[in-house]
Each structure stands twice: as structure tokens, then as C-alpha cells.
Amino acid sequence: MSIDVNRIREDFPILKEKMNGRPLVYLDSGATTLKPQAVIDAVNCYNTKTTSNVHRGVYQLSNDATELYEGAREKVKQLINAKTSSEIVFTKGATHSLNLVAQSFGLYHLKAGDEIIVSELEHHSSFLPWQHVARVTGAILKFIPLDSAGHITIENFKKVLSEKTKVVAINYVSNVMGYESPIKEITALAHEVGAIVSVDAAQAVPHMKIDVQDLGCDFLSFSGHKMCGPTGVGVLYGRYDLLNSLEPIEFGGEMIDIVGETTSTWKDAPYRFEAGTPVIAGAIGLGAAIDYLESIGFDAIAQHELELRQYAVSELDKLGGITIFNRDAQTGIISFNIDGVHPHDAATIYDAEGICVRAGHHCAQPLMGWLCQPATLRASFYLYNTKEEVDAFVEATRKGKEFFDGVFF
């Protein structure tokens, strides 16, 4: 089940570029991923050969563009095993999808005293939309207490779940800790009390096979750019009956059924949520990204990431003086700090070596509070990363430690 990394690297033109005069070592796929030629070509092809708006023209070109756009929707449907492609809304990204759920569902269905369950492990995009809904409606935000290693557990979820719970909004894979949340079990429990479950799958869909029917969740959000697709496109999956009962949050062209001067009616989902000209090139590019990832295989990708992670952790351990915050994660994310070196100083060392790692709070300030760190470093791996890149990363870490030990102490 192993993958041919060298062949895969040929597919990514940016890997031929130099960074600060050195080969680019890109270890920040958690932030956004590199783009393979197939995706670049698909976007270019739309822009050079099939440019036109979708769902409007009666001419051939518009028909072609519409087929490509709707074809991408079908690919997303198959990727996550939705029941129908009408359950797939194209958005601007995970953030847009998560806000759409909070506003369309939350603002209309919640009232004072209702409870919304989130966790300290959330990306700001996952819990801030609900913090806003709570402020407007008087609903109450409840945080699942994390266990001592920072996991979301069923046991702790049960402590905050109650008859008052109306919404559970949690991540599938944490962008800082790389832990997988027990979504299926949580969804079953939430449904018992009549709550809906909205899953932030921005860090999950790019890295593993997902089946929304098996999970049973009501909504699931992710971004195209974290899975080899273009920026500016994302997906909201919604269980159809629920999705189709929601009010849109944006109004305009193409989402309407009949327009009157004082009232109007909307198309059925997904179109009622796609007001205006949609992200046509983005959706087509995402479709190409899905084809690309499936041609390699999600199990093989996950396996490769895990191997790199385990290798990197064992090499970092050999250096000593490195604190790893998510030792038992099973995904390609390592969160760590070099003892005594501020992550921002460390990131500059990596930068000088042509290595891209993330330093900061990773849009997860509550989690930084939980970790008692102002910021952390994060290396995240994807299908195109190699053991040699891990070696370069570990070597830069060693040099950095040495450099700062020299100047600081």
C-alpha cells in the first residue's frame, strides 16, 4: 500500500522551485496544500476553453461549463458517499460552510437557554460562528472538557450533553493536535437528544476516506485548497431533508424560484445556497483534485503520512530538548516546541533553511490556553513529502537548537 513519492513529486510543479536558494521543503499542508498539474490544467482548461457562466446560457459553451461544474458536484458526492449530489453545496471554503450552518440553522432554530456543544480543540472557524449565534439568540456554548492529552472523548462528551443540547459543532481532525474525534459515536448520542451535528472536516477529508452516511452527521464542511484543489472553493454537505428546510443566508441571482416585489421563493438545495455566480473554476479544480487523490488512494496517503510522522517523532526525540504536544496522534500533524526557543524564532531558522513550517496559535487560541503555550510550531505532512525532507527538517531543528543555545545561554 506504499506510494511512489518520487513519481508523485513530478506532478507538483512548485517542487521544482527554490526557497531562499534551497530546495523547497513544504511541511505546512495543514495550512494549504500544493497543487498538482492535473488541477492546474483543469482550471486553465475552463479559463481557456470552456469559459462561460453556469445554469444560464442556452448555448453550447454554457452547457459544457455547467456539465463540468455539476460533474464536480457528483465527484464530491461520491468522495464522501452522500446520498445525492443535491446534498453538496459549493461554498468559498470551510469557513464559509461552517458559517452557513450556524446562521441558517442556528439563527432560526435556537432560543435562549438552548445549548450548543463545541470543544477547546476547535479552529476559530468552527466555534466562532456559534459564539455569534449564542450571543444573538441567548443560547449557551458548552465546551467538551478535553482529557489529559487533549482528546475529545465520549465519556467527556456525555458530561456536557443534555436534553437542552440543540447543536454539536466539532472537528473531525484537530488542526493542531491531529487527533481524530469519535464523530460516529458522538452523532449517535447527539441524535438521541434531538441535537444536530455539524462536523468541521477541513483536516479530515484531505487525508482519509469519509462516509457521511456511515457517520450519520447532519452537516460536514471542508475546503478544496487543503486537498490539492484551488483556493476559494469549499463544500458543505447537508442531510437533504434538513438542508432543504433551511433559509439561505445570501440572496441574489440563480438561487431563486419566483421573485415578487415583497416576497420570493427559493430553489431547492443546493442551489438556494449558491447565490450569484458560483466558484466555477474552483469547483472544476476541486473535481480534478478528487480524481487525483483517488487515483493514489486515501488509505495509501494516510499510511504514508503516518510513516513520516512516526519517523519524524523518533528523530526529534533523539535530539532531545523538544516538547511534542500530540505524541499519540495518528495523522500527519506534529505540534511541538523547541525548549527555550520562542516558536517565532524557531520558524525563522526553518525559513532560512528553505523549510516551511507553521508557527503561531493556528487559529486555535482556546487550545493554546489549554496547552499553556502562547504559540506552537507545527509540521504537517502530505502525500508529496519524503523521508529526506524529514531529515532536512530534523537537521534544521538541530541547528536551530544549537544556534539558540549559543546565543541565548
Partner 1 sequence: MSFSNLEQLYRQVIMDHYKNPRNKGLLQEDGYHEVHLKNPTCGDDITVQVKVEDGKLVDLRHQGTGCSICCSSASVMTQTLKEKTLDEAQNITNNFYELVKGNEYDEDLDMGDSPVYQGVSKFPARVKCATISWKAAEQAINELKK
Ligand X SMILES: Cc1ncc(COP(=O)(O)O)c(C=O)c1O
Determine whether 363 is an active site residue.
yes
Which residue, 59 or 408, is less far from partner 1 as judged by CB? 408
CA atoms of 322 and 305, how far apart (whole Å):
21
C-alpha cell at 297: 488512494
Size of the site for ligand X (CB under 6 A): 13
Binding at 223: pick from partner 1, ligand X, none (beta carbon under 5-8 Å per type): ligand X
Q: Is 24 in the site for partner 1 (CB under 8 A)?
A: no
C-alpha cell at 268: 431547492
Size of the site for partner 1 (CB under 8 A): 24
Q: What are phi and psi of 54, to 5 degrees?
A: -100, 155
Here's the x/- map for partner 1, 325-354, by CB under 8 A: it reads as -----------------xxxx-xxx-xxxx
- Residue choice 29, 33, 104, 126 for contact with ligand X (CB under 6 A): 126
CA atoms of 387 and 315, how far apart (whole Å):
11
CB of 31 to ligand X, least distance (A): 6
- Residue choice 165, 203, 331, 385 for contact with ligand X (CB under 6 A): 203
Which residue, 100 or 202, is less far from ligand X as judged by CB? 202
Binding at 255: pick from partner 1, ligand X, none (beta carbon under 5-8 Å per type): none
Which of 45, 356, 363, 372 is catalytic? The answer is 363
How many Å separate Cα 336 from the centre of its chain? 20
Q: What is the separation, in whole angstroms, between the first and last Cα of the chain?
A: 47
C-alpha cell at 69: 461544474
Q: In degrees, to the nearest 5, what angle opens at C-alpha 103 toward C-alphas 54 and 98?
A: 70
Which residue, 93 or 343, is less far from ligand X as judged by CB? 93
Q: Is 408 in the site for partner 1 (CB under 8 A)?
A: yes
Q: What are phi and psi of 347, to 5 degrees?
A: -60, -35
- Identify the helix (H) or strand (E) that includes residue 197: strand 196-200
Binding at 265: pick from ligand X, partner 1, none (beta carbon under 5-8 Å per type): none
Contact 126, 102 (CB under 8 A): no
Q: Is 202 in the site for ligand X (CB under 6 A)?
A: yes
Q: Is 171 in the site for ligand X (CB under 6 A)?
A: yes
Binding at 20: pick from ligand X, partner 1, none (beta carbon under 5-8 Å per type): partner 1
Query: Among 43, 45, 44, 70, which residue's Cα sits nearest to residue 55?
Result: 70
Q: Is 335 in the site for ligand X (CB under 6 A)?
A: no
Which residue, 145 or 360, is less far from partner 1 as judged by CB? 360
HEC assignment per residue over 162-186: CCCEEEEEEECECCCCCCECCHHHH
CB of 25 to partner 1, least distance (A): 13
Location of C-alpha cell 466539532: 170
- Residue choice 13, 16, 20, 149 for contact with partner 1 (CB under 8 A): 20
How big is the chain by its Cα radius of gyration, in Å?
22
Residues 349-388 that bind partner 1 (CB under 8 A): 349, 351-354, 359-361, 368, 374-375
DSSP states of 207-266:
TS---HHHH--SEEEEESGGGTS-TT-EEEEE-HHHHTTSPPS---TTSEEEE-SS-EEE
Task: Say which amino acid occupies 100.
Answer: L
CB of 57 to partner 1, least distance (A): 43
CA atoms of 334 and 328, how far apart (whole Å):
10
Here's the x/- map for ligand X, 175-194, by CB under 6 A: it reads as x-------------------
Binding at 313: pick from ligand X, partner 1, none (beta carbon under 5-8 Å per type): none
Binding at 407: pick from ligand X, partner 1, none (beta carbon under 5-8 Å per type): partner 1
- Residue choice 1, 2, 7, 21 for contact with partner 1 (CB under 8 A): 21
Binding at 354: pick from ligand X, partner 1, none (beta carbon under 5-8 Å per type): partner 1
C-alpha cell at 95: 469557513
Binding at 352: pick from partner 1, ligand X, none (beta carbon under 5-8 Å per type): partner 1
C-alpha cell at 339: 525548549
CA atoms of 168 and 153, how far apart (whole Å):
14
Residues designated as active site: 363
User: Residues in the site for ligand X, rule: CB under 6 A?
Assistant: 93-95, 123, 125-126, 171, 175, 200, 202-203, 223, 363
User: Residues in the site for partner 1, rule: CB under 8 A?
Assistant: 20-22, 342-345, 347-349, 351-354, 359-361, 368, 374-375, 399, 403, 407-408
